Copies of this chain bind each other. A is one copy, B any other.
Amino acid sequence: MINKKVNSVNDATKGISDNMTFMLGGFGLSGIPENAIKALVDSGIKGLTCISNNAGVDDFGLGLLLQKKQIKKMVSSYVGENDEFERQMLSGELDVELIPQGTLAERCRAAQAGFPAIYTPAGYGTEVAEGKETREFDGKMYVLEHAFKADFAFVKAWKGDAAGNLIFKGTARNFNPVMCGAAKITVAEVEELVPVGELDPNQIHIPGIFVQRIFKGENYEKRIEQRTVRQKE
C-alpha cells in the first residue's frame, strides 16, 4: 500500500503559490473541500484561477477567497449566489469564464483520463462556442473543448483510507471524483479516515492512484443553501 496520508491541511497544501490554477469540488456548498479552502484563505496566496462549478456564497466556500481578493479568474457554470462576486465581476477585478456544467465535468474527466479534448454538443451556436472549433458528426454539431490543466485539485470525500481510496456521500459526490487525478497534485480531505483494508474494494468510488495526499478534515460546517422541508402530519 502506497501511503498518501498527511497529518494536516498544511502538509496537504504544501507547494501552493500565487497564480496557480486550482480545481475545487462541490456543487453549491455541498461537498466542498472546507478545510482546504480555509487553508488557501489563511495562506494569503493571490492571483488564483479556480475551476469550480460554483463560487460559494458571500461568507462561505469560495466566497471566502473572493472576499480576500485572492481569485483572479473563476471557471464555473453557475455563480449567482454571491454579492461580492457580482461586484468584482462587474468592476472587472475578477475574470469569469462561464461554461456548461457538463462541459466542466468532462474537461476535468479528460484531464484525469488523458484525453486532450472532447467534442460536446453543449454550447454549439452560442457565445460559449465563439472562437472554438466546431464540427459535424452524423448531422449534429459539436464544439471542441480542451482538457483542463491545473496545479492542484482539492476534493472532499466522505470516507477514505491512507492508500488514497475515496468514497463520497449522496450528491456531495458531484464534481469531486472527476477532479481526482485531473491536476498535478490531488488533495483529498475526508470526514472519516478509516484503516486501510476497511473499505470494500468493490465499493471504492476513486482508487488511491488518483490521489496524492489525503487527510482527515476538521469542523465541517456543511452549510445548507436552501433548506426545504415538509412537516410531519
Checking B121, B169, B202 against A202 with a beta-carbon cut-off of 8 angstroms, the contacting residue is B169
A10 to B203, CA, bound (A): 32
Q: Nearest Cβ distance between residue A40 and chain B, in whole angstroms?
A: 28
In the complex, A203→B202 CA distance in Å? 9
Beta-carbon contact of A202 and B116 below 8 Å = no
Task: Answer yes or no: A120 CB below 8 A from chain B CBs.
Answer: yes
Distance, CA A116 to CA B118, complexed state (A): 9
- Using CB atoms, name the residue of chain B closest to A141: B116
Q: Is the CB of A198 closer than 8 A to any CB of chain B?
A: no
Option from B118, B201, B202, B203 in Cβ contact (under 8 Å) with A118: B118
- Give per-residue flags for A105-129: 1 if the beta carbon is below 8 A from chain B beta carbons, else 0: 0000000001111111100000000
**A115 pairs with B118, CB closer than 8 A:** yes
Q: Which residues of the other chain, B, contact A116 by a CB distance below 8 angstroms?
A: 119, 137-138, 140, 142
Interface of A is mostly: mixed
Give CA–CA (A116, B120) in the complex, Å.
8
CA gap between A47 and B174 in the complex, in Å: 43
* Chain B residues in 8 Å Cβ range of A119: 115-117
Complex Cα distance, B202 from A140, in Å, reads 35
Contacts of A202 in B (CB 8 A): 167-170
The docked-state distance in angstroms from the alpha carbon of A114 to that of B118 is 11
Given A169-B202, A202-B169, A203-B203 in contact, is the A121-B114 Cβ separation under 8 Å? Answer: yes
**A115 CA to B115 CA in the complex, in Å?**
13
- Select from chain B the residue with minimum beta-carbon distance to A121: B114
- A202 to B31 CA separation, bound complex (whole angstroms): 14
B residues near A121, Cβ cutoff 8 Å: 114
19 interchain pairs, CB-CB under 8 A? A114-B121, A115-B118, A115-B119, A115-B120, A116-B119, A116-B137, A116-B138, A116-B140, A116-B142, A117-B119, A117-B137, A118-B118, A137-B146, A167-B202, A168-B202, A169-B202, A170-B201, A170-B202, A203-B203
